[in-house]
């Protein structure tokens, strides 16, 4: 089974020379119908590429790769249509072989969806506004391209005056070079980005192959160089390679990867790429400006307006994403500083606040009080009534302690297990003692039943430490040690009482 999977890509690649040999052989044997047979193969190749691109678009996950495959399929449809028109044009002899025709317009416009795919931003679901703006750009590109090729606007009743085929070929070369270079830039930015990187790799390979083959074919045709019919194979080769490579691609079936950080080069190219299409519209506008000034001026204005709207839309979406990210980070930060059971501050928040208030007290010398509150005989509650009841007691006690704080700047936190701590900035000994007494009263008012072995209601012992010292002679750990020493005396002297310790 593994061997079959490994041979499949090679099998698709081997079909390319087989197709070319079949085309050359059947064209040689067709005699007077050689042109029709050649056109049949030249039309079938982009049609196969169209089917392969549709398959990849169908299987790909929503995002840049799916949008890219869909746009590439649209380009293949335009090319297939152009080849069909060329076949009808040459076989029916309705148009001179060296004259510009509607098929040339289709060949030129095939680059518009590709350029749009290259210019697309890395969004999973582009907004409707961006989709409408892209549609406007495509329509404007078609309008300008038609005017540039036929020297008349699409809805003008005047007869068309197509540009010489030699000039059109030069235009093709410029278009092919621009597309290949732009795709190479996106590949440089996303070569390691999984499915998106593979799409840009395949697209870049196709565009460079197509540019070389098209340039060679146009040179041989324009200069009437005999090549034993091999020149007719050149337009087919890039589409066969695209069909073969796209058929070996299995979109949407890779393992999920951790997104890598976006490098500065990637950000630069991604932010610059949306201007590719706008620059192309501006170029077409300048091409027709001499003969169609007002049309070109209008097109330039619309192109710049669309680009401005796209930029504004993207900027607003980026700002919204940034605001959402900031809100999520704030929420995460809040959760990281909150005790999951009681809903009050946790030990991490307590440590940060104590450090800040200690530094403020060192600067201002306004005093800092610290209370450590321990639930008396809490182990008996867990042992006799169970941990769920013990958790309920902790929640009620936390609410009672929080309600006893007189100011918003005061903080009560779960210090660990059944211990709580309170930080009272700019508080002297009378105020700190009053808050401690109010906390005991709030716990008593909660009327939480103790374990049957102990009887009565839940009570708490409180150790109070006060620092009135300014300067860096002491550390917050010493204040904690003093409050802990006061708590030890409160528990040793009978519990359900308040003991004090001063730092001088």
Q: Domain 2-252+262-330 belongs to what architecture?
A: Up-down Bundle (1.20)
Neighbouring-strand partners of residue 502: 466
Q: How many residues does the chain have?
A: 504
Residue (of 170, 165, 172) closest to 100 by Cα position: 165
223-234 pLDDT, tens per residue? 766 554 577 888
Q: Where are the domains of the chain?
A: 2-252+262-330, 347-503
pLDDT for position 474: 67
Does 2-252+262-330 match 347-503 in CATH topology?
Answer: no
Cα–Cα dist 161/335, whole Å? 71
Cα–Cα dist 267/199, whole Å? 18
Report the run of H or E that residue 414 belongs to, with start and end. Answer: strand 411-416
Cα–Cα dist 234/304, whole Å? 38
Cα–Cα dist 235/223, whole Å? 17
Please check whether residue 210 is in contact with residue 238, taking contact to mean a CB–CB distance below 8 angstroms. yes
DSSP string covering 102-140, please? HHHHHHHHTHHHHHHHHH--S-SS--HHHHHHHHHHHHH
Cα–Cα dist 110/77, whole Å? 8
pLDDT for position 403: 93
pTM for this prediction: 0.67
Cα–Cα dist 203/181, whole Å? 11
Cα–Cα dist 441/144, whole Å? 83
Cα–Cα dist 43/487, whole Å? 90
Please check whether residue 7 is in contact with residue 223, taking contact to mean a CB–CB distance below 8 angstroms. no
pLDDT for position 261: 52
Say how many Å lie between the first and final Cα of the chain, rounded.
81
Question: Which residue ranges of the chain lie beneath pLDDT 50?
Answer: 1-7, 97-99, 228, 254-259, 472
Q: Which fold would CATH assign to domain 347-503?
A: Alpha-Beta Plaits (3.30.70)
């Amino acid at each position: 089974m593994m061997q079959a999977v490994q041979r499949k890509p090679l099998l698709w690649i081997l079909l390319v020379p087989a197709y070319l040999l079949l085309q050359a052989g059947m064209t040689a044997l067709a005699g007077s119908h050689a042109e029709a047979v050649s056109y049949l193969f030249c039309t079938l190749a982009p049609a196969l590429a169209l089917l392969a691109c549709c398959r990849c678009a169908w299987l790909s996950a929503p995002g840049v790769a799916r949008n890219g495959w869909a746009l590439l399929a649209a380009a293949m449809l335009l090319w297939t249509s152009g080849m069909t028109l060329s076949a009808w044009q040459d076989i029916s002899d309705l148009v001179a072989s060296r004259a510009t025709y509607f098929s040339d317009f289709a060949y030129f416009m095939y680059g518009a969806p590709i350029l749009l795919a290259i210019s697309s931003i890395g969004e999973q679901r582009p907004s409707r506004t961006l989709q409408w703006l892209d549609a406007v750009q495509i329509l404007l590109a078609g309008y300008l391209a038609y005017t540039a090729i036929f020297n008349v606007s699409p809805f003008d009743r005047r007869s068309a005056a197509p540009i010489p085929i030699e000039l059109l070929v030069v235009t093709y070369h410029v278009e092919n070079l621009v597309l290949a270079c732009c795709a190479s830039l996106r590949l440089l930015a996303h070569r390691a980005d999984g499915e998106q990187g593979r799409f840009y790799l395949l697209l870049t390979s196709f565009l460079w192959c197509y540019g070389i083959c098209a340039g060679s074919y146009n040179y041989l045709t324009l200069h009437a160089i005999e090549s034993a019919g091999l020149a007719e194979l050149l337009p087919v080769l890039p589409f066969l390679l695209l069909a073969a490579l796209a058929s070996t691609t299995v979109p949407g079936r890779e393992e999920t990867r951790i997104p890598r950080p976006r490098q500065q080069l990637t950000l630069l190219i991604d932010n610059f790429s949306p201007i590719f299409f706008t620059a192309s519209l501006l170029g077409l506008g300048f091409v027709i400006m001499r003969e169609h000034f007002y049309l070109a001026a209008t097109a330039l204005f619309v192109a710049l307006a669309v680009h401005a709207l796209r930029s504004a839309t993207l900027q607003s979406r980026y700002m919204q994403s940034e605001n959402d990210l900031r809100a999520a980070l704030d929420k995460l930060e809040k959760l990281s500083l909150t005790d999951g059971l009681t809903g009050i501050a946790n030990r991490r928040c307590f440590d940060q606040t104590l450090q800040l208030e200690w530094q403020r007290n060192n600067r201002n010398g306004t005093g800092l009080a610290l209370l450590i509150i321990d639930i008396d005989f809490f182990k008996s509650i867990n042992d006799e009534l169970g941990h769920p009841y013990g958790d309920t007691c902790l929640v009620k006690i936390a609410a009672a302690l929080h309600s006893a704080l007189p100011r918003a700047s005061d903080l009560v936190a779960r210090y660990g297990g059944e211990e709580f701590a309170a930080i009272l900035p700019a508080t002297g000994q009378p105020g700190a003692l009053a808050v401690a007494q109010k906390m005991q009263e709030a716990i008593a008012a909660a009327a939480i039943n103790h374990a049957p072995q102990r009887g009565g209601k839940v009570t708490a012992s409180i150790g109070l430490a006060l620092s009135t010292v300014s300067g860096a002679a002491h550390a917050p750990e010493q204040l904690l040690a003093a409050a802990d020493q006061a708590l030890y005396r409160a528990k040793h002297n009978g519990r359900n009482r308040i003991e004090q310790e001063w730092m001088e």
